[in-house]
Amino acid sequence: MININYGKNNELMDKCASLSDYSKFVHDVAEYKGEGIGAEQAVTSAIGALPEGLVKSILNAHKAEATEMFLTEYDEDVVHKAFYNVGFEEGEARGEARGMSKGKTEGMAEANRNTARAMLADGMPEETVAKYSSLPVEEVRKLKL
């Protein structure tokens, strides 16, 4: 994980002016909002403080979207409940179902191989073993070795 907050990771920021500008922009908007300035004015002021370049031109072109982004507050608890709790439980159930299904499939395949081995040990022909064990003849031949 790399910290791209303003004032952090100066070596990276020196190598990437766009990242540095964006980091400064986000920092400035937060500062302005902390002073009681509304989101729209905070975004406008923060964009105005940026040096001319790619980030400033993109933010000027998409000022409404940038403002909307800062009007929507990030709530970690809401995100956690929405994605982790519900998502985790659903994912866990799916994973268990897949695991059980895979286990049954693998268990059946091993049971079929064991049946084939027993049939081969009794001297039954490979084709007959394949038919009753549901294994391909090639696999039955490998078991015979």
28 lies in the same domain as 53: yes
Number of domains in the chain: 2
Are the CB atoms for 106 and 98 separated by under 8 Å? no
pLDDT confidence of residue 77: 63
60 pLDDT higher than 70: yes
Between 125 and 80, the more confident residue is 125
pLDDT confidence of residue 1: 80
64 lies in the same domain as 85: no
Determine, yes or no, domain membership for 1.
Answer: no
Chain mean pLDDT for the chain = 82
pLDDT confidence of residue 134: 87
Residues near 119 by Cβ (< 8 Å), separated by ≥ 6?
A: 128, 129, 132, 133
15 lies in the same domain as 59: yes
Helix (H) or strand (E) holding 31: helix 17-34
How far is 22 from 89, CA to CA, in rounded Å? Answer: 36
pLDDT confidence of residue 35: 92
Domain C-terminal end among 20, 55, 71: 71
85 lies in the same domain as 108: yes
97 lies in the same domain as 37: no
90 lies in the same domain as 107: yes
What is the pLDDT confidence band of residue 145, given thresholds at 50, 70 and 90?
confident
Are the CB atoms for 25 and 33 separated by under 8 Å? no
Domain C-terminal end among 43, 71, 99: 71
Determine, yes or no, domain membership for 107.
Answer: yes
pLDDT confidence of residue 84: 60
Beta strands in 1-145 (DSSP E): none
pLDDT confidence of residue 110: 84
Average pLDDT over residues 40-50: 90
Are the CB atoms for 51 and 10 separated by under 8 Å? no
Can you state the angle between helices 86-121 and 126-133, rounded to 10 degrees? Answer: 150
Pick from 50, 23, 29: nearest CA to 41: 29
137 pLDDT higher than 90: yes
43 pLDDT higher than 80: yes
Domain C-terminal end among 29, 52, 71: 71
pLDDT tens digits, residue range 82-98?
666 555 666 677 767 67
Give burial (CB, 10 Å; 0-12/13-18/19+) of 19: middle
pTM beyond cutoff 0.85 = no
DSSP secondary structure code for residue 110 in this structure: H
80 lies in the same domain as 65: no
pLDDT confidence of residue 99: 66
How far is 135 from 119, CA to CA, in rounded Å? Answer: 12
pLDDT confidence of residue 81: 65
Q: Tokens 């995100």 belong to which residue?
A: 79
Q: What is the CA radius of gyration of the chain?
A: 31
Domain range for residue 20? 10-71
